[in-house]
A = this chain, B = another copy of it.
Amino acid sequence: MLQIDLGSATPAYGQIANGLRALLVARDLEPGEQLPTVRQLAVDLGVHHNTVAEAYRQLASEGWLDLKRGRGATVLERPSPFPGPAARAQFTRRLEELLAKAITDGISRGDLAADLRRCAAEVREGVAR
């Protein structure tokens, strides 16, 4: 369901949150659905349950999840918030940095362009909400 890379620069709880967020945005995890318990997912990923809990808390603070003791984590119906003023510029910068790193790593510009166009199309599709 998910995979993380220990030894990466980005912390484990961040990777878990990022991966789950991608699934949530793609509606692979739908509102009302139950997520694995922190302990269950921790075992699957080979980390401590508190590490998973931190990721869950992050997503909960973003409005994606509802957390309750004894009941687990539930996906919420989430209204998309008003974007902060600098959010757009920050995204653009991050995207360009990500591309620079990819080129540094030797990925061909054609491959990168293809991925970008595919994602652009997928993002457009999701407009239906």
Copies in the complex: 2
Say whether A117 faces chain B, with CB atoms less than 8 Å apart.
yes
B87-A106 in contact (CB<8A): yes
Picked from B22, B80, B96, B127, the residue with its CB within 8 Å of the CB of A97 is B22
A interface: dominant SS: helix
B113-A124 in contact (CB<8A): yes
A98-B95 in contact (CB<8A): yes
A127-B101 in contact (CB<8A): no
Tally chain A residues at the interface, Cβ within 8 Å: 51
Say whether A110 faces chain B, with CB atoms less than 8 Å apart.
yes
Cα distance A94–B119 in the bound complex, in angstroms: 12
A24 contact set on B, CB distance < 8 A: 100
A91-B102 in contact (CB<8A): yes
B22-A100 in contact (CB<8A): yes
Say whether A83 faces chain B, with CB atoms less than 8 Å apart.
yes
Query: Nearest-CB distance from A103 to chain B (Å)?
Result: 5
Query: Can you list 30 A-B contacts (CB < 8 A)?
Result: A18-B101, A21-B97, A21-B101, A21-B104, A22-B97, A25-B100, A81-B105, A81-B106, A87-B106, A87-B107, A91-B98, A91-B107, A91-B115, A92-B115, A94-B98, A95-B98, A95-B116, A98-B98, A109-B123, A109-B124, A109-B126, A110-B124, A112-B123, A113-B124, A116-B119, A116-B120, A116-B123, A117-B117, A117-B120, A120-B120
